[in-house]
Structure 1
């Protein structure tokens, strides 16, 4: 008795996820008895699930998240989303397909880094490459790479990410050399990657971060062209939940 079309579909789908030959899969999906094909489908599905898990774990390691974050229980009360960008756009990561940038701007402790980290987690869960840096750690990483003679390779690796997060832009000013390195990352990412920036400074103050108004203007010009501003307003979550309170 030939295997059912549903069993054949399972074999073909799992086999494709394991990068197996379509013609061979089609032949084996119909050659055996239903029990044999059921066994084959279950094996391929288990193999595909194992590969998916390994891929996600590898992506998370490379991502460099300081701590795992998700949107489970996320407090949206401080978040003001712009017109045309809803929660579904964030949670589905549809902005990555459009290579849109996001600037998460606002008060300290209102969930900007949490959102950026959770977006990275979602991307890795969906087997999309993401990278997470603070602005200062990005500068240090690029300087070390340059000293080791591998700056081009490091830039190339960063450019492969579908989602690039630069956290805490503006918390510390960049020196002239660091500003040039960060500018190069923005220039390389333009219209190729989605960049998510977290900052507590409005655009008019970015000149102080880069130490050069023209360089800041060039970064802002690239970010706003295909970008959206997500604003955060409210009391710091850490302050609200602090163990140390005034008597």
Structure 2
């Protein structure tokens, strides 16, 4: 017959000694939530007459929940959004291309997991950047690696990396992202070198990882940005294949929001 498993050894500790042991162990194991919540949760589980296993489940769940919240905040910070924007603060009622069901679908981020592009087209002030940041924020809060950058800033970064012989490292950083949120395509013309470097990033992510971009120029006008018509056509081809294309229109979102705010304060 096999011997019965030995019971784990348990050391009798006073409450102060137990508190010190918990603090030391949590510090060593990097469990800050358990370190702060072990005592209060112990008191709560004692009042509720829960089992030791239930108490253990409570403290572990608290640590997991807090760690997940910290990870979400870290992902949003790493995305380098220029300002906070959220989907619940966006009024899409004036955008016929964006009915509630479509916006809700985009908010889930399934298109990111599928590596599908998103293109936001419309005049200045129609909500493109708000949507780009808000969808990127939702993706980051869901745990995805996101980076927001303007087209000009990305091109400058790539040129500097190339000059420092660090281009492959820079391209690798952008290739590992789950979502690249690329703003202001078409705002400035790119020199041939910058356009080719940007194309390298787009090609690296093609059909594998999502790019969400915003532009105030229609696709037919992108030749002015990329100067080389063939390169412009290749960029459009890659950013529109299996893409979600949303036209935000010509009506200024900022103007509507300002008028609505003023109207609310006068009623």
TM-score for both structures, normalised by structure 1: 0.79
Counterpart of 2:80 in structure 1 is 64
3-state SS in 2 of match to 1:86: helix
Q: Distance in 2 between matches of 1:165 and 1:82?
A: 19
Of 131, 139, 143, the match for 2:159: 143
Give 5+ residue unaligned stretches, structure 2. Answer: 1-30, 32-48, 262-267
3-state SS in 1 of match to 2:213: strand
Within the alignment, does 1:187 sit opposite 2:196 as a pair?
no
Instruction: Give the alignment's Cα RMSD to 1 decimal.
Output: 2.2
Q: Distance in 2 between matches of 1:34 and 1:147?
A: 64
Counterpart of 2:57 in structure 1 is 41
User: 1:177 offset after TM fit, Å?
Assistant: 1.2
Q: Distance in 2 between matches of 1:72 and 1:93?
A: 16
Q: Distance in 2 between matches of 1:208 and 1:129?
A: 31
Counterpart of 1:222 in structure 2 is 238
Counterpart of 1:126 in structure 2 is 142
Larger Rg: 2
User: 1:57 offset after TM fit, Å?
Assistant: 2.4
Residue pairs, 1:1-247, within 5 angstroms: 35-81=51-97, 86-240=102-256, 241=258
Q: Would you say the 8 A contact 1:113–1:198 is kept in 2?
A: yes
Q: Would you say the 8 A contact 1:99–1:226 is kept in 2?
A: no
TM-score for both structures, normalised by structure 2: 0.74
User: 1:135 offset after TM fit, Å?
Assistant: 0.3
Give 5+ residue unaligned stretches, structure 1. Answer: 1-17, 19-32
Q: Distance in 2 between matches of 1:166 and 1:224?
A: 14
